[in-house]
Amino acid sequence: MYCKIIITSHQSDGPIMATLLLFKQGLKMAGLGLGLEVHIKEIPVKLYDDSKGNVVIHLGIAPGAKCITLEQTGKNHCYKNRDVSGLCPDHHCCIEEGPERLDSIIDMRSLSNKLTTCRYLCDFVYYYSLYHGQGKAALIHVPASGSLASPEKLVPQLQTIIQALLRQLDCPEHTTSGYVDSKQVENTEEKILHKT
């Protein structure tokens, strides 16, 4: 039994894509690659085609952010700004007649205090994934600059977050040697996920 993860980011987020490649390699080096299939794709991607996974994790850039932010809810309406391709939905919503809000089945609240997304491409894609994936999606905003945005710091932090997400989804082989020091995770989460 294995867990398939699809991780996406926008193609203009060049540093993030480079970090994701290091992250994927880091998962394998940490022993998380066994039974874990990780696909890294640039947005736009055709979601929910033959590459459907157990969970879809979207990474977005948050200019001015001082910490990593995990989002709980995707919103369907109020998309009035054009995206990076200059497009805006005709009815300013992601899915016509879809629910106003969708929550991830992953308890992001247990990992983060900040739960609000702006109505940009990240939230649009997140809502779409939640709608079509029965809530099995996550949106993680990472800082655009600063020391936390460096691959050396971002990769281990993303590994810790992904381990916690997989534990909630009960995917196999999501911990190094079947064990993660909960004190280490708590300390890492406190440093990383909460604004100071």
Active site residues: 71, 122, 141
Element (H, E) at 42: strand 36-43
What Cα–Cα distance (Å) separates residue 40 from each residue in 6, 87, 115, 128? 6, 24, 24, 18
Contacting residues for 143 by C-beta, under 8 A, at least 6 apart: 61, 62, 65, 66, 67, 68, 149
Bin 115: left if φ > 0, else alpha if -120 < ψ < 50, else beta.
alpha
Of 34, 8, 28, 12, residue with least CA distance to 20: 8
